[in-house]
Amino acid sequence: CDIACDAAQSARAAFLSLRRGYTFIPKHVFGLPADVFGARAGVLPLPLALRQRVFQALLRLLNGDPAHYGLPKPDHRIFESHPIVNSLVLHHLGHGDLKVKTDVTAFAGDKAVFADGSEETVDLVLLATGYDTTIPYMARQHFEWAGNHLEAYMTAFNARHATLFTLGFINTAAGVFEDFDRLAHLIANHLVDQERDPEKARKFRELVKAGQPDLSGGVNYVTSPRHAAYVQHDRFRAQLEKLRRGLAWPALTPGYFDALRSETGATAP
């Protein structure tokens, strides 16, 4: 959508083709970045169904009815599909700089044909339709796959190889850089256990081989390749913390590595 907004400002005509209706979340909510607002609101002990109603009502208040902009109605409730965080799509739709189209079904010369039978003359098509997960530098058989998404315990621990880990494969509706830190911390502690506490390492490997816990948080995600391995962020973090506590690994807190840096003479980046 950011690309579509750029096109809306510079192209003679710009079109946004959507396969389904989506929830549009502004980048800032009441002056806070959307993810910060969501994290603060997420601490409220509300049942999922009530949280969905509250957030949907809030977005209706902020954005109005998406149908007024020509957008299709979402076929799912909020949180059940990856959100679109963008404050300018509605602006450009409202000013006529951008037009919504249905899914592309074919191309005929310089025309794009859409599912509703309409056609538009275009000279550039950008396919922002997702991606397949691949690890081209290692043989596929070293990993477990479900279709085109990687299956690993807590997205990082390989069931086949005790010293093979994958970082960066989290798919969720939140910022994940701290989660990468937490996962790397767990990986490091598990490697230490392999060297110093083989029995604890063995018990952890049993957890890995037993299979993935439910990380959906009760959310009924839409059926699509993207959401096949989707995790609910609060549930994912809670499971990481439960795992850390259960194995008596130290918590990763601000300043955790200061002593190590002092010993080695390293400096913080």
Rounded to whole angstroms, how far apart are CA atoms 126 and 112?
12
Longest dimension (CA), the chain: 68
DSSP summary character for residue 74: B
pLDDT value at 205 more than 80? yes
Residues of the chain above pLDDT 70, percent: 97
pLDDT of the residue at 235: 93
Give one DSSP letter per residue of 152-164, joined into a string. Answer: -BTTTB-SS-TT-
Q: For the residues 208-217, what does the mean pLDDT come to?
A: 92
pLDDT of the residue at 266: 66
Please name the residues in contact with 214: beta carbons below 8 A apart, sequence gap of 6 or more. Answer: 235
pLDDT of the residue at 268: 64
Which tokens is 202 given? 């063995």
Q: For the residues 54-81, what does the mean pLDDT come to?
A: 90
Rounded to whole angstroms, how far apart are CA atoms 120 and 110?
8
Looking up tokens 């999922």 gives 48
Q: Which helix (H) or strand (E) holds 177?
A: helix 177-196
Least reliable range by pLDDT among 176-180, 242-246, 256-260:
256-260
Q: For the residues 227-243, what does the mean pLDDT come to?
A: 92
Beta strand extents in 5-82 (DSSP E only) = 15-17, 24-25, 28-29, 32-33
Residue 31, amino acid = G
pLDDT value at 66 more than 90? no
Tell me the residue length of the chain: 269
Q: For the residues 202-226, what does the mean pLDDT come to?
A: 91
Rounded to whole angstroms, how far apart are CA atoms 72 and 115?
13
Mean pLDDT of the chain: 90
Q: For the residues 192-208, what does the mean pLDDT come to?
A: 96
What are the domain boundaries of the chain? 2-121, 140-264
What digits encode the pLDDT tens for the residues 111-137? Answer: 999 999 999 999 999 988 777 788 999
Please name the residues in contact with 150: beta carbons below 8 A apart, sequence gap of 6 or more. Answer: 133, 135, 143, 144, 166, 169, 229
The pTM score is 0.84
Which tokens is 256 given? 């955790």
Rounded to whole angstroms, how far apart are CA atoms 17 and 100?
6
